[in-house]
């Protein structure tokens, strides 16, 4: 991903969206990769995540490497008030790009999962996304240009057993992005859904999944920014493209059956954990 062909074009991003971008979920994984790519492209940044120390360290790194202005906002997007705070704190700033990369997943049978975690995931993956998309899109329309990057997933396109709620949240984001793109394109605002496959990040650990084949988050950020304003949905990286091609000709029920086998493999260790916990409590 380091060749000239795949490099982010600073002049295109700055000219199309302006000088300031907001990135949520910026402390690690895909959000961090977006922040790095945008700083390299010369955009000033407003970084949002729960962990203030991690954000501050990233801000110092980006400022030193790229001489951009970076502001840090420590917010938990599971809290409904956090989106209002972010919108208020950015009022008056000429933000032209929102990368809504904050999100997390769960895995395993839904009936065995923590209800609080499942509902918090809906808050972060769906409620916060539409709240921020609506707020920033209105500003972008008023200024006559802007861009929204919304994080979908390979699992957004069919039911996914053992990650049923997570897949449903990503289906929501995918559908939201498709509809908003048609609404906002005539008003000068670009919208893209980024639908990666398995990615090496902190996501798998939090979701209690074990991934075999996976790609790095930089591939996601790079390909998504390259496609922004040119496509409505991007499947970044060779792995996402390959997995989608293998599912494309199957009916929806067939895709769900395949995903059941894939997720079953990623979560089979949970059965051993459950047995160990049960033995320990006996």
Q: What is the predicted pLDDT for the residue at 51? A: 95
Note the pLDDT tens digit of each residue in 54-97: 999 999 999 999 999 999 999 999 999 999 999 999 999 999 99
Q: Domain 12-281 belongs to what topology? A: Rossmann fold (3.40.50)
User: What's the order of all strands across the beta sheet hosting 233-234?
Assistant: 70-74, 44-49, 20-24, 95-100, 146-151, 189-194, 233-234
pTM of the full predicted structure?
Answer: 0.86
The catalytic site residues sit at 166
Q: What is the predicted pLDDT for the residue at 280? A: 45
The list of the chain residues with pLDDT below 50 reads 1-9, 204-205, 207, 273-282
Note the pLDDT tens digit of each residue in 20-61: 999 999 999 999 999 999 999 999 999 999 999 999 999 999
Nearest to 186 by CA among 245, 145, 241: 145
Q: What is the predicted pLDDT for the residue at 40? A: 94
């Amino acid at each position: 991903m380091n060749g000239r062909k795949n490099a982010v074009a600073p002049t295109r991003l700055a000219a199309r969206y302006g000088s300031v971008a907001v990135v949520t979920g910026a402390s690690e994984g895909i959000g961090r990769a977006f922040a790095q790519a945008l700083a390299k492209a010369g955009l000033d940044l407003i970084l949002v995540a729960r962990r203030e120390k991690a954000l501050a360290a990233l801000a110092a790194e980006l400022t030193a490497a790229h001489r951009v202005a970076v502001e840090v906002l420590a917010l938990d997007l599971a809290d409904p008030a956090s989106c209002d705070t972010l919108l208020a704190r950015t009022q008056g700033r000429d933000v032209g790009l929102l990368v809504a990369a904050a999100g997390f997943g769960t895995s395993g049978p839904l009936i065995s999962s923590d209800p609080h975690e499942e509902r918090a995931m809906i808050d972060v993956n769906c409620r916060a996304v539409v709240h921020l998309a609506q707020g920033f899109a209105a500003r972008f329309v008023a200024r006559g240009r802007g861009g929204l990057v919304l994080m979908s997933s390979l699992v957004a396109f069919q039911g996914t057993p053992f990650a049923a709620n997570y897949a449903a949240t990503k289906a929501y984001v995918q559908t939201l992005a498709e509809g908003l793109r048609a609404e906002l394109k005539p008003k000068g605002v670009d919208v893209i859904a980024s639908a990666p496959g398995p990615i090496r990040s902190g996501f798998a650990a939090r979701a209690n999944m074990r991934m075999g084949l996976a790609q790095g988050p930089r591939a996601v950020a790079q390909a998504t920014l390259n496609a922004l304003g040119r496509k409505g949905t991007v499947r970044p990286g060779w792995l996402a493209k390959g997995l989608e091609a293998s599912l494309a000709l199957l009916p929806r029920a067939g895709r769900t059956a395949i995903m059941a086998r894939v997720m079953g493999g990623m979560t089979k260790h949970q059965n051993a954990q459950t047995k160990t916990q049960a033995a320990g409590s006996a």
